[in-house]
Amino acid sequence: MTEVRRVRGEAELDAAMALRHAVFVVEQHVPLAEELDGRDREALHLVAVSDGNVVGTCRLLFADGTAMLGRMAVAPGWRGRGIASRLLAEAEARARSDGADRMALAAQTGALGLYERAGYHVYGDRFLEAGIEHVMMEKPVA
């Protein structure tokens, strides 16, 4: 059974950060300086945990009624099992409970289907971030 929830303690946060490093820096070749943007201490971190292991993570940053979703990562062996969709649903619930009326994110274009199925809409032009094509997406959550 996989539990999706807010991170509990430094050990889980460290595991979430290690997963992000493995996915973004090692697998996708994102420069470490771009992955570690200095905003993790102010973020709300969510994790998917199975048998005590962090298998998925994302974070939320809040500003002016918007919850900005970022750093969504799922361990390779856990992809295709609905982990990202469950993290997204929990992020939306947390955003609503914390007073946000809108979720926004910079989606890698390879993940557009995940976000479109969840009701997100593209706005703006495609752009490169860390050498990977992205597009901005949003959804009302109030």
- The domain spans of the chain are 2-101
Cβ–Cβ < 8 Å for 141, 95: yes
Which CATH topology does 2-101 take? Aminopeptidase (3.40.630)
pLDDT in tens, 95-127: 999 999 999 999 999 999 999 999 999 999 999
The band of 38, judged by pLDDT with boundaries at 50, 70 and 90, is very high
Q: How far is CA 50 from CA 3, 75, 83, in A?
A: 7, 11, 11
pLDDT for 45 beyond 90: yes
The band of 142, judged by pLDDT with boundaries at 50, 70 and 90, is confident
Cβ–Cβ < 8 Å for 2, 48: yes
